[in-house]
Homo-oligomer: A and B are copies of this chain.
Amino acid sequence: MARSNHQETQTVLRHWQEDVPDDRLAHLIRDAGRVLTKSLQTRLSEHSVSFGHWSFLRILWVTEGLTQRELSEEAGLMEPTTFTALKAMEANGLIERRQLNGNRKNIHIYLTQRGRDLKKTLVPLAEEINEIAVKGVDDDDLQVTRRTLLKIISNLANANE
């Protein structure tokens, strides 16, 4: 598995060193995202946590009791995505879905002890990947990259208005 993973990332790399198509920046950004996601996914799967669940755990480790909708906003994902992920996480014993104060509409999400405990195991994995990813990159360059990506997101947000 590490093997084919390696081959795959090598392929992505070679691709980028060779031909440079017209919409290359978009393509490059997507590829980087894919490699990052896959690296995390591989490590998380050793703890039976999927990438999608990680996104919500991260938020819940900071704030429990949010509604599904609030979680969607925080995660930047659509509600059906959130819904499906949370249902699975409930089934896996990572969270509980509770209705409070007689309100039958809002569903609040709380971690189980198991979900809470995973923080200590999983956060270091993400930090490790970040360290690996940016090794040898100037801090200045990272700043520029962050700024550029934010600008791209903002430009497209306004254009899709």
Contacts and interface: CB of A to CB of B under 8 A. Distances in A.
A117 interface: no
Interface of A, helix, strand, loop or mixed by DSSP: helix
B35 A153 contact: yes
A139 to B, nearest CB: 11
Interface in A1-51: 2, 5-6, 8-13, 15-16, 21-26, 28-40, 42
A121 interface: no
Given A132-B155, A154-B13, A161 B2 contact: yes
A146 interface: yes
Contacts of A30: 33, 36-37
A137 interface: yes
Contact of A160 (B42, B123, B142, B146): B42
The oligomer's copy count stands at 2
B155 A26 contact: no
26 contacts: A2-B161, A6-B157, A6-B161, A8-B78, A9-B156, A13-B153, A13-B154, A15-B74, A22-B123, A22-B130, A23-B127, A25-B142, A25-B146, A26-B33, A29-B33, A29-B149, A31-B149, A33-B34, A36-B152, A38-B160, A133-B152, A134-B152, A136-B151, A137-B152, A141-B147, A141-B148
Given A26-B130, A29-B36, 15 more contacts: A6-B161, A21-B58, A22-B123, A25-B146, A26-B37, A28-B149, A31-B149, A32-B149, A35-B153, A35-B156, A35-B157, A38-B160, A129-B156, A136-B151, A145-B145
